[in-house]
Amino acid sequence: MTPILRIQGLEKSYTPGKPVLRGINLEIAAEGITAVIGPSGTGKSTLLRCINRLVEPSAGAIWMGDVNLAGLRGRSLRAARRRIGMVFQEYNLVERLSVMENVLTGRLGYVPLWRAWLRKYPPADIERAFTLLDAVGLPDQTTRRADALSGGQRQRVGIARALMQSPALLLADEPTSSLDPKTAVEVMELMARLTGEVGVPVIVNMHNVELARRFANRIIGMTGGEVVFDGPPEALEDHHLHQIYGGEGWL
């Protein structure tokens, strides 16, 4: 199977001389969940944001098909972004918009501006939004304002918004770190199920090693801006975790 992403020599420094990513080389398969684990500040988030260009890479290439995402600008960048859904740690819903409007935000890359402005979305989009809201378990919340929802509900809307883009790839940046343990598992289950149904590959950043083991079929361990572990969850052992996070007392 051809990979969905081929990352080659990706580097990023926010301030010159202090690289956050030091030459990342990765291939991401076109299916399944890839979890990226590692301590805070190790560049996991930067890696994800380089892929959809919320952060500008300093060097390297990110191939999605035959397009180098790192070199895109303007219209072609937006066309690439709409094929990459993103779920955020703090949900990043537009708080003063309704749940439905937030989900339909996922269509902004597809519909003309006047339609978005007048909320005249194509009926197929509206129908799909309702279907997704049913699927994430929020059938009765469509007209509520996003800031009226609980954390777990917000992340469900966030997932629906990302899937509304009909993405070829889903990025999830610490999607469960702001949630309680039970809700975190529920949200991960939901994300795994819904992306599995439509065969969308997922790259997810996580702090929680247990959650990563449970849901991912590939784990990438990062430390100091470099990949130090790459393999199936079964292969991840304590000495790897020691290498990724440092110290041993917590294990």
Partner 1 sequence: MSAARAPFPPNWPWRIGAALGLAYVVYASMQLGITGARLAQGWGEAGRFLARMFPPSFARWELLLEGMLESLQIAVLSTALGILLSLPLGLMAARNLSPLWLSGPTRAVIAVCRSLHYVIVAIIFVKALGFGALAGVAALTIASMGFIAKLFAEAIEEISMKQVEAVRASGASAGGVLLYGVVPQVASRFIGFGIYLLDSNLRNSTLVGIVGAGGIGGTLFAAFKRFDYDFVCAILLSIIALIFLAEVVSGRIRAALR
Site residues (vs partner 1, CB under 8 A): 52, 54, 78-86, 88, 90, 92-97, 101, 105-110, 113, 116-117, 158, 161, 165
- Candidates 216, 213, 218; CA nearest to 238 is 213
Count CB neighbours of 192 within 10 A. 17
Q: Which is nearer to partner 1, 52 or 153 (CB)?
A: 52
CB atoms within 10 A of CB 127: 11
Output the smallest distance, CB 207 to partner 1, in A.
19
Residue type, 52: N
> Smallest distance from the beta carbon of 2 to partner 1, in angstroms?
23
Minimum CB distance to partner 1 smaller for 94 or for 148: 94
Question: Is the CB of 95 or the CB of 140 nearer to partner 1?
Answer: 95
Is the Cβ of residue 8 or residue 178 nearer to partner 1 in the bound state? Answer: 178
207-240 b/e (C-beta count within 10 Å ≥ 16 → b): bbbebbbebbebbbbbbbbebebbeeeeebeeeb
Cα–Cα distance between 8 and 60 in angstroms, integer?
6
- 82 vs 20: CA distance, rounded Å: 26
E strand or H helix at 62, and its extent?
A: strand 59-64
Minimum CB–partner distance for residue 141 and partner 1 (Å): 17
Cα–chain-centroid distance for residue 116?
Answer: 24
- Measured CA to CA, the distance from residue 222 to residue 216 in angstroms comes to 15
Q: How far is the CB of 20 from partner 1 (least distance, A)?
A: 18
The strand pairing partners of 202, in sequence order, are: 33, 170
Residue placing its CB nearer to partner 1 in the complex, 6 or 145: 145
